[in-house]
């Protein structure tokens, strides 16, 4: 870059010196020509190298046209015009490189946010600042409030809010505590945290993002590839036309050589497609950098352009349209006599009422009496002498059995207990039955928590109202967990994955961007799929699909329209690969997503989908603005040559000026923020 700047500067100074010496007459003609030759050599050197390289491959490019025009000007003793041409051509190239380098390095500026050193705590308790490149997995790094995190790691001590905008594009800081992963270049906003290094500096998520963005910016869009194939054919045509424009008037029409040759050199300049060729990469590279800074990682210009043609989007359900984690939605207790049951609904669905039937009331029993305060059999009197338990008691029993399980259902029950301030009962002799549930001893009785299979063999008949409630909850797409004591049913706990709050509005926005068809593909059961799909206005819902069936469904959708697949990037990898455009969502640090998908949404943010489409549409509009503008400028300048004898100098200014305008127009896409902030 510095070399180009110096060559352009020397060319400009030499051209100005030659011009001043010529008009003042203080130097000989040989001295004036010497300065012009220096201008030719400095301004034309980059173009001459490119021309020689292309001629070796039997190709003619834009640089050849410029070098030939400047040499032609020298032949008819128009050294000044040739020098001005080479100076402006060199200046234009330098400014283009500067602008495109700015775009290419925009994402690399994120690396500057990563500290160069990390504060390591050694096993002996000593603390030491060491270079980030020297950090090794397993070491403990201390990060203080207000500092950027130096390395990818897992928090082992401390609680804080972390601003992850540099990685995911999220504007709101997220809570992070022990067990949570954090990433290099993100900002620790509050507390002191200690993290265990997960990977070396060269392998961090940030480093992989930057590497993929650089590769994407080098990957050419279809429009760019077409223009580059078109360039040598067009350049050869221009050369042929110029030869005819010179030879026919001079040899056949007997016109003077100098004006005919001058006009030919002017045509050679104004017909050069510099602006046309640079129109696409200037826009595509800028859009890719903008997207990466907003949490959307395109893996090539091809995919950025392809987004414009997508008319069908297939969504995975779990982890894409939903959070991917079940939560407790209902707690329904079965009175051991005729007492009322108690229900809970975290999602806003109320249990079906009826105190006499033992159906849930829609609220957790807020009694402050702990489970241990009830009788040794775990029951209490309901006034009729029969026992019943509260929703909190049922939750305490289930949580006690599940507290050492790592199953996602257990995590949901324990999370609910914590939210309700319920302490799990102390159990012993835990026994797990794979695919069924867990049993344990408590207060001399046997507790069991699990699915229907766990109790089928030991319970002769289920109470009708419990069976009815279970079927109703299943019909709502919920997972039902049964709780029993001494083989007697005590109640139900229902769980369901929750729809992302942004899903409904996001799909509406996708309709506005022109997406014609939206489909859900899930391996979950039809009831769950219908419950999730109901508020989403999807065109099709396909449930109970095995991975290979998802693959077949994507193949069918592709035959009916250009199809994108949105998944979590791990278990949806085959479908992502099969689709016309694979979009992995929430894939921070997920190697499979980075390798398989064409586009990666770095955060769990569905709203990036309409942003991504609008950015692609914006890039397409700017590319075509540049192409049309470039062609119009060429036609206007050519008309000027033949209609008003446009001078070579004005032709050069018009040609190089249009090139710079095209580059600057493309750089509008480099602006950060949402696509709504981009100029129209």
CA dist 580 and 314 (Å) reads 11
pLDDT in tens, 167-182: 765 556 788 889 888 8
**582, pLDDT greater than 60:** yes
Class of domain 324-498: alpha beta
pLDDT tens digits for 385-401? 334 678 899 999 999 99
CATH of domain 295-323+500-609: 3.40.50.1000
More confident call, 438 vs 671 = 438
In this prediction, residue 218 carries a pLDDT of 63
- Annotated catalytic residue, options 63, 316, 330, 572: 316
* SS3 state of residue 321: helix
Residue 425 CB partners (closer than 8 Å, separation 6+): 371, 372, 396, 397, 399, 400, 442, 443, 447
**Once rounded to an integer, what is the mean pLDDT over residues 500-526?**
90
Confidence band, pLDDT 50/70/90 cuts, at residue 315 = very high
Q: Which neighbouring-strand residues pair with 583?
A: 566, 599
Rounded to whole angstroms, the Cα distance separating 12 from 39 reads 7
Strand partners, 193: 143
- List C-alpha distances in Å: 635 to 261, 273, 417, 641: 20, 11, 74, 10
* Other beta carbons within 10 Å of 422: 24
**Nearest partner of 43 among 18, 77, 76, 75, judged by Cα:** 18
Locate the DSSP E strands across 148-261.
153-157, 160-163, 174-176, 181-182, 187-188, 193-197
Cβ neighbours of residue 391 closer than 8 Å, sequence gap 6 or more: 331, 333, 342, 343, 344, 360, 363, 364, 365, 491
What dihedral do alpha carbons 359, 363, 367, 368 form, nearest 10°? Answer: 140
The architecture that CATH gives domain 115-149+152-198 is Distorted Sandwich (2.70)
Cα–Cα distance measured from residue 620 to residue 421, given in angstroms and rounded to the nearest whole number: 55
Q: Which of 575, 534, 581 is nearest to 309 (CA)?
A: 581
Sheet of 296-298: strands edge to edge? 296-298, 599-601, 581-585, 563-567, 312-316, 517-521, 540-542
State yes or no: pLDDT of 368 exceeds 90: no
Over residues 270-298, the mean pLDDT reads 84
Helix (H) or strand (E) holding 518: strand 517-521
Over residues 9-26, the mean pLDDT reads 90
Express each pLDDT in 194-248 by its tens digit: 999 998 988 887 777 777 666 655 666 677 777 778 878 888 888 899 899 999 9
What is the rounded distance in angstroms from the CA atom of residue 71 to the CA atom of residue 327? Answer: 76
Place of tokens 């921070």: 588
Q: How far is CA 461 from CA 12, 153, 435, 503, 598, in A?
A: 96, 52, 21, 41, 53
Lowest mean pLDDT: which of 149-153, 212-216, 306-310, 486-490? Answer: 212-216
Q: Is 377 a catalytic residue?
A: no
Q: Residue 570: what pLDDT? A: 60
pLDDT tens track for 615-634: 999 999 999 999 999 999 99
Residue 678 has pLDDT above 50, yes or no: no
Domain layout of the chain by residue ranges: 115-149+152-198, 295-323+500-609, 324-498
**What is the four-CA torsion angle of 446, 448, 452, 458, rounded to 10 degrees?**
-10
pLDDT at 346: 35
pLDDT at 459: 78
Q: Is the pLDDT of residue 11 over 70?
A: yes
Compute the distance between CA of residue 558 and CA of residue 609 in angstroms, rounded to an integer.
19
Taking the complete model, does pTM exceed 0.85, yes or no? no
């Amino acid at each position: 870059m510095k070399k180009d700047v110096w060559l352009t500067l020397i060319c400009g100074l030499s051209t100005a010196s030659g011009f001043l010496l010529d008009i003042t007459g203080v130097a000989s003609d040989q001295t004036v020509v010497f300065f012009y030759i220096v201008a030719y050599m400095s301004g034309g050197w980059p173009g001459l190298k490119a021309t020689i390289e292309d001629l070796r491959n039997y190709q003619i490019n834009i640089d050849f046209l410029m070098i030939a025009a400047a040499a032609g000007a020298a032949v008819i003793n128009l050294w000044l015009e040739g020098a001005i041409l080479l100076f402006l051509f060199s200046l234009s190239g330098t400014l283009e490189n500067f602008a495109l380098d700015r775009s290419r390095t925009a994402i690399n500026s994120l690396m500057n946010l990563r500290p160069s050193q990390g504060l390591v705590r050694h096993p002996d308790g000593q603390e030491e600042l060491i270079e980030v490149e020297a950090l090794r997995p397993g070491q403990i790094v201390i990060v203080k409030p207000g500092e950027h995190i130096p390395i990818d790691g897992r928090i082992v001590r401390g609680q804080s809010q972390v601003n992850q905008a540099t990685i995911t594009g999220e504007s709101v800081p997220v809570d992070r505590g022990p067990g949570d992963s954090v990433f290099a270049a993100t900002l620790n906003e509050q507390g002191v945290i200690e993290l265990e290094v997960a990977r070396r500096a060269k392998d961090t998520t940030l480093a992989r993002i930057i590497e993929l963005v650089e590769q994407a910016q080098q990957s050419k869009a279809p429009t760019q590839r077409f223009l580059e194939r078109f360039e040598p054919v067009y350049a050869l045509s221009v050369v042929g036309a110029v030869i005819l424009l010179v030879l026919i008037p001079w040899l056949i029409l007997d016109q003077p050589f100098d004006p005919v040759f001058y006009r030919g050199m002017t045509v050679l300049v104004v017909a050069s497609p510099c602006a046309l060729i640079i129109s696409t990469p200037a826009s595509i590279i800028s859009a890719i950098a903008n997207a990466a800074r907003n949490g959307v990682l395109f893996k090539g210009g091809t995919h950025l352009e392809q987004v414009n043609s997508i008319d069908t989007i297939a969504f995975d359900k779990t982890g894409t349209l939903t959070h991917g984690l079940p939560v407790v939605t209902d707690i329904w207790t079965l009175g051991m006599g005729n007492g009322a049951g108690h229900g809970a609904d975290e999602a806003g669905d109320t249990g079906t009422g009826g105190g006499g039937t033992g159906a849930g009331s829609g609220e957790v029993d807020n009694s402050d009496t702990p489970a241990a305060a009830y009788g040794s059999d775990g029951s209490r009197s309901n006034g009729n002498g029969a026992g019943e338990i509260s929703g909190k008691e049922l939750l305490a029993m289930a949580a006690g059995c599940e507290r050492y399980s790592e199953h996602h259902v257990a995590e949901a029950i324990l999370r609910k207990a914590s939210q309700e301030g319920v302490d799990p009962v102390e159990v012993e002799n835990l026994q797990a039955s794979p695919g069924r549930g867990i049993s344990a001893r408590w207060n001399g009785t046997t507790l069991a928590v699990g699915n229907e299979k766990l109790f089928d063999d030991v319970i002769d008949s289920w109470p009708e109202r419990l069976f009815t409630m279970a079927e109703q909850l299943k019909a709502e797409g919920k997972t039902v967990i049964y709780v029993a004591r001494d083989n007697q049913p005590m109640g139900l706990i229902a769980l369901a994955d929750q729809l992302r709050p942004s899903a409904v509005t996001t799909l509406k926005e996708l309709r506005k961007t022109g997406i014609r068809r939206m489909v859900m593909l899930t391996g979950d059961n039809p009831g769950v799929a219908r419950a999730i799909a109901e508020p989403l206005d999807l065109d099709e819902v396909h449930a109970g699909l095995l991975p290979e069936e998802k693959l077949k469904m994507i193949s069918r959708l592709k035959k009916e329209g250009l199809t994108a697949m949105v998944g979590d990037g791990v278990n949806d990898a085959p479908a992502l690969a099969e689709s016309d455009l694979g979009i992995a969502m929430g894939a921070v640090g997920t190697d499979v997503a980075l390798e398989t998908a064409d586009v990666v949404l770095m955060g769990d943010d569905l709203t990036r989908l309409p942003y991504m489409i609008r950015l692609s549409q914006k890039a397409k509009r700017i590319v075509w603005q540049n192409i049309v503008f470039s062609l119009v400028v060429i036609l206007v300048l050519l008309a000027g040559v033949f209609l008003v004898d446009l001078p070579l100098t004005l032709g050069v200014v018009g040609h190089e000026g249009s090139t710079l305008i095209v580059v600057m127009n493309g750089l509008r896409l480099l602006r950060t923020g949402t696509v709504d902030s981009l100029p129209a």
